[in-house]
Amino acid sequence: MAKAPLSVSIVTRREEFQALEELWNRLLAESSGNTFFLRWEWLWAWWEAFGAFLGTLHILLVKRGERVVGIGPFYWTETKQAGLFPIRRLLFLGTASGGGGDVGSEYLDLIVHPHHQEDVVTAMSAHLLREDQFREWMLLHVPEQTPILVSLLTQAVEAGYRLEEMHRWQCPYIALPACWEQFLESLGNTLRYKFRKNLRELEKHGAFSFRTTRTIEELEHDLQTLVSLHQARWEDRGMSGVFADPAYHCFLSMVSRQALLHGLLRLSIVTVSDKPVAAVYNIAYGNKIYYYQSGFDIAFDRKVAIGTFAHTLCLKRAIDEKLDEYDFLLKGSLDSYKDRWTQSVRQMVDYRVIAPGWPQLLARLEAAVRGCVRRFRKINQ
């Protein structure tokens, strides 16, 4: 029997996006790229908080007959290449190329039913490459060598587009053992000693508790605890902290409520003598933990590495829940502490895809100018 033909439609209106929740998450659960950062709740909250100020929805729905078998979670924004020439730039929902809207959405991909991958990618490619409607694609924080996205990028290159790898990132992760004792044995001597020392020092301060947000009523209070601890820590470094942006606070509040209602939120608070000293914001999804955000009391006893201790308690809970993995997500310039936990990493890549013709000529010119500037600075150091 011949397959029903594919059709591609575009979601451009907020109300249409809002109506996709059930369909979206059902297809995501069947796809190979099933991660929390592609769930409807995450991307909808991002669009509500940031998207309307950044660009225009361009969600691709690929149908075979009446059934949706592929989703391209995109939007586009107007920008200027070389600061002069206006272009349309295509991006994944949940990402922004600098400034507000960069919320750490990672492992992004196309959402495709596994039985229709080749046909869906071909249909999406034909749409995105048609008449050079997008002069530039900026695909950020995507897993290295994800088959579906590699296929899309390959078709773009074959059509004359230029593919640039802008940046590589590492996501450290721990494959969790079956029991806590086995995990302790797997730690290096330094971390194992530090955990036990932290426990002894902490007990000198009296009783401590470790709890996780369970109700909507607790959520508002616990989020505020996270915000206060996080901001104090970053302001002590002379930085603003992400919660200084009201839009980010709004975004995380929306995500947190939905994640709690679906049983995915793991917002944990460590309290010593009734005072919160640490907060760790994790998400449990797909039998793994994603570590997303945290805050620690910078004035607490320096003999206790309270951040390390809080992570250790979160790891113990994940092992008790029989989860498979603890993913620390993207390692930034200030995240070297993640390397102390594990040597296992996944690679993520930021890609730039440039249309043929004058956009590529300008891109080469920009690259040449940047190279000259770097060489000049090196000579004058």
Per-residue pLDDT at 100: 81
Q: CB-based burial of residue 63 (10 Å sphere; 0-12 exposed, 13-18 middle, 19+ buried)? A: middle
pLDDT for 194 = 80
What pLDDT sits at residue 176? 97
Spatial distance between the Cα atoms of 254 and 271, rounded to a whole number of angstroms = 25
Q: Look at residue 125 in the predicted model and tell me its pLDDT.
A: 95
Which pair of tokens denotes residue 150? 């590699």
Phi-psi region of 220 (alpha: psi -120 to 50; beta: other; left: phi over 0): alpha
Q: Which residues contact 253 (CB under 8 A, 6 or more apart)?
A: 223
- The answer to whether residues 86 and 94 touch, using CB atoms and an 8 Å cutoff, is no
What's CA 176's distance to the chain center, in Å? Answer: 21
In this prediction, residues 243-266 reach a mean pLDDT of: 96
What is the structure's pLDDT at 35? 97
All domains in the chain, ordered by first residue: 6-169+347-379 (3.40.630.30), 177-323 (3.40.630.30)
CB 310 within 8 A of CB 294: yes
Is 104 in contact with 324 (CB distance < 8 Å)? no
User: Closest Cα partner for 193 from 319, 278, 302, 309?
Assistant: 309
Task: Provide, rounded to the nearest whole percent, the portion of the chain with pLDDT above 90.
Answer: 72
The pLDDT of 250-269, averaged and rounded, is 97
Q: Which two tokens stand for residue 229?
A: 């601890």
Residue 277 has pLDDT above 70, yes or no: yes
CB of 126 closer than 8 Å to CB of 159? no
Q: Which residue has the tokens 């949940």?
A: 94
Across the range 18-43, mean pLDDT stands at 97
pLDDT for position 5: 87
Q: Which of 32-46, 77-91, 324-338 has the lowest mean pLDDT?
A: 77-91
| Confidence band of 13 (pLDDT split at 50, 70, 90) | very high
pLDDT band at 99 (very low <50, low <70, confident <90, very high): confident
Task: With H, G, I as helix, E, B as strand and everything else as coil, classify residue 379.
Answer: helix
Residue 212 or 302, more confident: 212
307 vs 59, more confident: 59
Query: What's the half-sphere exposure (Cβ side, CA atoms, 13 Å) at 44?
Result: 20
Does residue 166 carry a pLDDT above 60? yes
Helix, strand or coil, per DSSP, at residue 159: coil
Backbone angles phi, psi at 166, to 5 degrees: -80, -40
Q: Which two tokens stand for residue 171?
A: 């996501």
Q: Report the pLDDT value the prediction gives residue 22, as an integer from 0 to 100.
A: 97
Sorting pLDDT into bands at 50, 70 and 90, what band is 1?
A: very low
Per-residue pLDDT averaged across 246-268, rounded? Answer: 97
Q: How much is the pLDDT for 216?
A: 95
Taking only the tens place, the pLDDT of each residue in 361-380 is: 888 888 777 777 677 676 76
